[in-house]
Amino acid sequence: MTAVAAAVLLTFLPNTAQAEGSYPDPLPIAGQQIIHDPTVLRLKSGQYVAYSTGGVIGARLSKDLRNWTDAGNAFAEPPSWWYEYNGTGDPWAPDISYRAGRYWLYYAVSSWGTNHSATGVATSTSGLPGTWTDHGKVFTSERTDTWNAIDPALIQADGRLWMSFGSYWTGIRMVELNPRTGKAVEGATVHHLATRPDAPYAVEGPYIVKHGRHYYLFASYDACCAGVNSTYKIKVGRSTSVTGPYTDSTGKPLLEGGGDLLLEGHGRYAGTGGQSVFRDRGQDWLAYHYYDAEDAGTPKLGLNRLHWTENGWPNVA
């Protein structure tokens, strides 16, 4: 099949599920490729920045999305309150956005394997590493809660600010934020967006974008962080309301285990997940990590153009 014929076919695909072996390779990149749970944004300076799990929120910079350099960390050292959640002050899964004249960086700190967790927020006028001012906790969870306050991602909808989050512990949740402080509204309702019927409810890392009249929830399913043995894959559902209910292309609710498969491991690219979506000059991109089977399972940056079918479903091919 020619590339043109494939593109025409994908326009009319009914949903995001793709035939085995049809996944495209990520964009070829050079330089510093090692990354985990990437969040990517084109700054007003014209540079691209990618923040990630690792270090004190590891940073990468690029001028063209293809050549990346190591730019150190968002913070020189962990804010003291992080140590309430783990002994190393180790942050996870950041999310960068721009709003109200500032860049906002959300992240998670947690005890491994528990839901003694918190999301935090920092701001910067440039978005560059070393320029962030931390503002403390946004939202927390404890062992008595049925959710886990990690893997934050922001979206604005109908003049309100929302944060999706969640990992295992009944899956994906959402709370409303105060747009002035960037923190959870006092007494905010915790909305439930997605889960699985089977323990341990292995769905995490939500990211929501709006396209047309729908909101699209992207999430990572199955097991992360095991190198080439990782089974991470990315699924998606949609809703006409940011708080749900979300369904897949067959109409199955994501609260009942639904979700269209968008991308999974293939060839050397094992365990694709930890995803985010960013828009650059009219084009949507999917950013994620994969474990390179040809490099001892090293986690690396994956970037693919995100296309939309005529009936409004995303596709990476």
The catalytic site residues sit at 37, 204
CA dist., res. 56 & res. 42, Å (int): 21
- Which residue range forms the structural domain that includes residue 282? 3-315
Q: What are the structure tokens assigned to 252, written together?
A: 């199955």
Give the CATH number of the domain where residue 306 resides. 2.115.10.20
CA dist., res. 306 & res. 153, Å (int): 18
Judge contact between 171 and 196, C-beta under 8 A.
Answer: yes
Query: Which residues lie below 8 Å from residue 18, measured CB to CB, with a gap of 6+?
Result: 261, 262, 315, 316, 317
Give the least confident one: 19-33, 71-85, 130-144: 19-33
pTM: 0.93
pLDDT, position 111: 87
90 band by pLDDT with thresholds 50, 70 and 90: very high
Per the structure, the count of domains in the chain is: 1
21 band by pLDDT with thresholds 50, 70 and 90: low
CA dist., res. 214 & res. 79, Å (int): 38
The per-residue pLDDT for range 273-287, each reduced to its tens digit, is 999 999 999 999 999
pLDDT, position 22: 85
Mean pLDDT computed over 21-29: 90
Is the pLDDT reported for residue 6 higher than 50?
no
